[in-house]
A and B are shown apart, each in its own frame.
Chain A
Amino acid sequence: MKKRLVPYLFIAPYLALTAVFTVYPLANAAVLAFYQTNGPASRTFVGIDNFRFLLGDPSFHKALANTSVFTLASVALVLPLAMGLAVLLHGRQGRAKGFLRLLLFSPNLVGGIFVGILFTVLFTPRYGLMNRTLHALFGWGLEERFLGNPALVMPAIVVTALWVSVGFNMIYFLAALQSVDKTLEEAARIDGANRLQVFRYVTLPSMRHVVGFVLVTTIISSFQLFELPLALLASTDGKGPDNAGLTLITYLYDVGFNTGDLGLGSAIGWIVAALIFAVSLVQLKLSGLTREQA
């Protein structure tokens, strides 16, 4: 009898804290999405007007487009790069491996604001390290305004995000590589497969849970991109030229806290959550992560 209470006791802290700091605010935000607020004071009920406005709002469309592009680019670039680096690193031994691992992970040791400021300096026309390197290698890019040219802002944000997330996800893949069953790989090699085939048909499939996990977390965090553009494009409050750096969450923050309409902000938040949910649902169903093992 006592045993039946035990699990509830164990999850009690989670339940209590979630009820207070997640459920109640969620309910609050849910209701708020149908209101229009004016900053600190009163609120007026406006029904679905917030959603109707957003549907036709060019800024919202831009934010949605930017965020989707960023998510796609993140997934398409971060995963292969992290996997590639993990594979390369996996073959090393000893101290070189440990040292390189630390180096590649090190961007995660610093805060988001610093990353933003750092890359603002790195992307400076004429003097920035990025500009100079690109010019030295390809003869282009010295005077390019990466953070001022609408076409180049998103690539700049993607590169900045890469600097941080490739190292982090590389660690996941490195760990997964270490726990792949070596006997399976040996067997495949004995059967005549070359290294590429071994990787593709034996190693990768046995890493699919990690890959799935990294994929989901990358998608979720990409949709919620907020601090990075805010720090990188601080002069325009995270929006960039012609809203080229505007993401869904920076738009939410701008609308909710700069303009003061928390109702509209909540409406945006709900749309974002719904989007993430839809995308993740598709992805999870495909990989069956929610299924529990016996």
Chain B
Amino acid sequence: MNPLRALVLAFGLGLLVLVLRSPKDPRPAVRYLATGVLVAASAAVVSPFLWLVAAAFKDRSVLNEHVFFPPLGDWSSATLNLDNFRRLFQGDASLTGKVYFSQYVVNSLCVASLSTVLQVLFCSLAGYAFAKYSFAGKGVLLTFMLGTMMIPGVLLFAPVYDMVVGFGFVDSYAALILPGVVTPYGIFLFRQAILSVPNEMLDAGRIDGANEFSIYLKLVMPLVRPLTAAFCLVCFLGSWNAFFGPSVYLHAQQKLTLPVVLNMYLGVYGSDQGVFLAGTLLAIVPPALLFFALEKEFVSGLATGAVKG
């Protein structure tokens, strides 16, 4: 009997006991079962991260010997150390001197935050327009937007690359940010959320003499803050973890973003998995921080975006 089977069996026994103790009132048993399921689901979801943490700190020589951490007796600076991190931070050669890990972090932060801020601005503006104004071509545009959501991005890649080179901003962050800065997904989310803002409020604002833009900015946007927060997180995540675009558009070593740099450690002839994983571990930190800060708003925000309509 291996430990995992023993665990499952023990859990089942506990459930049986609860059911037998109070056959008419299922609540304790249900709650116990629910807790068990949640714990199992969380364990299933989290164990890969445990592997990641272990792998980041394992020395290269034992990286392949143990799945998680070595047995306690083997813990020493020879088996667990910061070697991977040291190599991660040692810097890469480039045309203009050494580039360090901190530079890549700043680059990723720059691209992700700029992209998010611009997306919030443009998508909310468009979403507001679609929600609260009627204008010629509105219906057509809405259908068109829905249609473009269905186009696979890879299909457009070659012509877009063409254009980016033509405009001359290949090897710049504009190439990463501009093509995806206004998405139908974002516009729809804001539109759904703003639909529920009462029109009377807008009219009152107009009577008070406010111009359209400040109605948008000062009256409407504060009401959809939860959605904005949620959208920020989604955009930030998407940009932070993007690999394909940056790997093709960015050339100079000092402009590279984290996913691109980390993937270069996984070479064709031999990979430095430990360093890659150490870098991935560090790369989780900013998005995790953002999520922590936004937790409550994130949950309620997504709802307002998707519920109404």
Interfacial residues, chain A to chain B (CB-CB below 8 A): 3-4, 6-8, 10-11, 13-14, 17-18, 20-22, 24-26, 28-29, 84-85, 88-89, 91-92, 98, 100-114, 117-119, 121-122, 127, 129, 132-133, 136-137, 163, 167, 171-172, 174-176, 178-179, 207, 209-210, 213-214, 217, 220, 223-224, 226-227, 248-249, 252-253, 256-257, 262, 265-266, 269-270, 272-273, 276-277, 280, 289-293
Q: Identify 6 residue pairs between A and B in the complex whose beta-carbon atoms are under 8 Å apart, listed by A's number.
A: A22-B148, A102-B295, A111-B240, A129-B48, A178-B303, A273-B150
Stretch at the interface among B71-79, B86-94, B98-106, B177-185: B177-185
CB contact list, B36-55 vs A, under 8 A: 37-38, 41-42, 44-49, 51-52
B-side contacts of A262, CB under 8 Å: 158
Within 8 Å CB of A252, what residues of B? Answer: 152, 154-155
Chain A, Cβ-Cβ closest to B290 = A109
B275 at the interface (CB under 8 A from A): no
Q: Which residue of chain A has the shortest Cβ distance to B55 in the bound complex?
A: A121
* A178, B300: Cβ atoms closer than 8 Å: yes
Q: Across the interface, do B163 and A10 meet the contact criterion of CB distance under 8 Å?
A: no
B130 at the interface (CB under 8 A from A): yes
- Rounded to whole angstroms, the CA-CA distance of A224 and B181 in the bound complex is 20
Decide: B151 and A4 in contact? CB cutoff 8 A: no
Q: Assuming A105-B291, A178-B300, is B306 touching A209 (CB within 8 A)? A: yes
Residues of A near B126 (CB, < 8 A) are 10-11, 13-14
In B256-292, the 8 Å CB interface with A consists of 259, 263, 266, 276, 280, 283-284, 287-288, 291-292
Residue B302 is within 8 A (CB to CB) of chain A in the complex: yes
The answer to whether A109 and B284 have CB atoms under 8 Å apart is yes
A176: chain B residues within 8 A (beta carbon): 303, 306-307
Give the chain B neighbours of A117 by CB distance below 8 A: 266, 276
The answer on a CB contact under 8 Å between B306 and A7 is no
Complex interface: chain B residues within 8 A of A290 (CB) = 142-143, 146
Q: How far is the CA of A219 from the CA of B156 in the complex (A)?
A: 20
**Complex alpha-carbon distance, A8 and B197, angstroms:** 20
Q: Is the pair A109, B306 in contact by a Cβ cutoff of 8 Å?
A: no
Q: How far is the CA of A3 from the CA of B5 in the complex (A)?
A: 69
Using Cβ atoms and an 8 Å threshold, which residues of chain A touch B302? Answer: 171-172, 175
Q: How far is the CB of B308 from chain A (nearest CB, A)?
A: 7
- The interface residues of chain A lying within 8 Å CB-to-CB of B301 are 175
Interface pair B46/A103, CB less than 8 Å apart: yes
Knowing A209-B309, A249-B154, A266-B155, the reply to whether A106 touches B49 (Cβ < 8 A) is yes
Our pick among A6, A213, A214, A276 for the contact of B133 (Cβ within 8 Å) is: A6
CB 8 Å contact bits of B179-212 with A (1 = contact, 0 = none): 1011001010000000110000000000000001
Chain B: CB-nearest residue to A226: B154
| CA distance in complex: A73, B52 (Å) | 28
- The reply to whether A171 and B291 form a contact with Cβ atoms under 8 Å apart is no
Report whether B280 and A18 are in contact in the complex, using a CB–CB cutoff of 8 Å: no
Cβ-based interface call for B13 (8 A): no
Whether A29 contacts B259 by the Cβ 8 Å rule is no
Say yes or no: B155 contacts A171, CB within 8 Å.
no
- Chain B residue at minimal CB-CB distance from A23: B148
Closest 10 pairs (CB-CB, A-B) = A175-B303, A269-B155, A111-B241, A25-B159, A7-B133, A10-B129, A276-B150, A136-B4, A25-B156, A28-B159
